[in-house]
Structure 1
Amino acid sequence: MGIQFVGHFLNILATVLYFGILARVLLSWIKVGPDSFLMPFLRLVFSVTEPILGPIRRVLPRTGAFDFSPIVALILLHVVRTVVARIFA
């Protein structure tokens, strides 16, 4: 029971991060002013996703205006979810 809880928790965490990164990508396409009603949500999404995207961004080579770190993070989270599912199934 305890080991399944760990697997379930890791799966939920990876899923939340996955959707947080997707939300961050979508919100980056929208101009959000400092007094916008979206600003609190944007701050939350950035605070949750930056600990994952920041280190990936530092490792990846600079490619100009396009940031590949969300793509790499989504792939890594998919791998983590797959591994967790196989280990804790």
Structure 2
Amino acid sequence: DEAEALAIANDTLYGLGAGVWTRDGSRAYRMGRAIKAGRVWTNCYHAYPAHAAFGGYKESGIGRENHKMMLDHYQQTKNLLVSYSPNKLGFF
């Protein structure tokens, strides 16, 4: 179930990146917000927008890179990257 999946995803010392695969937009948003990772891809993976901050939560990294947010160490930043394409991506 959703609560168990979230518990498994967050049961780690690290939080650099995570992925969510679903056809339910509400679930994608809810899970993306709840996962403790600096970058969360939804229905895609390894998209790296040049303007987006990069860095992890917990024991992943030492802050943010590639963005003015690296100056602000007092917040947790997250990117939700979502693909709404109905086409398969790789083996997913």
Q: Could you state the TM-score of these two structures normalised by the residue count of structure 1?
A: 0.28
Structure that is richer in helix per residue: 1
Q: Could you state the TM-score of these two structures normalised by the residue count of structure 2?
A: 0.28
Larger Rg: 1
